[in-house]
Structure 1
Amino acid sequence: MSALGSKLWRSQLGGLMFMCPGCEYSHVVHAAGEGWAGPTWGFNDDGDRPTFAPSVLVTTGRAVDPTFVPEDGDPPEICHSFVTDGRIQFLGDCTHALAGQTVELPDWSES
């Protein structure tokens, strides 16, 4: 991985990673023009104040697989947000505690 400004990292597998303070783990998006065959996002090329469009929707567990059986009580997760000018606006369908809030995107840390 390599840093792209203070908020993003380029994944070795392709894509841009940012740390989500709601999920407390990273999310990956692929910028348009990267040659990625799947969904892509517009990106303003600013690793310190990134903007991605359209919204970023991350789902896990039962949210994407109705046969999912959580381990140790892990609930299904939905994280739906807009990342604009280095801030992340969590939409109301998020299943974490930051749903409905807008916060600064945290600086990326390798630790």
Structure 2
Amino acid sequence: MIRVEGDGPGRWGYNGNPDAPTFAPSVLVQYNGRDAGVDGAPPAVCHSFVTDGRIQFLGDCTHSLAGQTVELPDFDTEYQIIGEA
């Protein structure tokens, strides 16, 4: 989840288009997931830009989509954007 409303740090820009969203700046996530290092290795990294409904995974990602650009998958309608009915 990224925050697009409110003031202050930790807020991303959003173009307001739920069908082809753009968020700025990039999204950087570090996590200890299934593909993360073990035995003191650094956490896994997912670093991307979301532009016009496409995710550009940057080269510093540690997963198999590093360096690729893919269409943003449909999200589960169970989860709604806060503020939408």
Shorter-chain TM-score category? 0.7 to 0.9
1:1-111 aligned at under 5 Å gives the runs 28-31=1-4, 34-35=5-6, 38-61=9-32, 75=36, 76-109=43-76, 110=78
Query: Unaligned stretches of 5+ in structure 2?
Result: 37-42, 79-85
Query: Does the aligned pair in 1 maintain the 2:35–2:63 contact within 8 Å?
Result: no
Corresponding residue pairs, total: 71
Residue 77 of structure 1: how far off its partner (Å) = 1.5
Q: Which has the higher strand share?
A: 1
1:3 corresponds to: none
Query: Does the aligned pair in 2 maintain the 1:30–1:36 contact within 8 Å?
Result: no
RMSD value, Cα? 1.9
Cα deviation digits, residues 72-107 of structure 1 (max 9, x gap): x75231000000000000000001100000000000
Query: Unaligned stretches of 5+ in structure 1?
Result: 1-27, 62-69
Residue 35 of structure 1: how far off its partner (Å) = 2.4
Q: 1:97 to 1:74 in 2, by over 3 A?
A: closer
SS in 2 for 1:53: strand
SS in 1 for 2:24: strand
Residue 36 of structure 1: how far off its partner (Å) = 5.8
SS in 2 for 1:29: coil
Residue 37 of structure 1: how far off its partner (Å) = 5.3
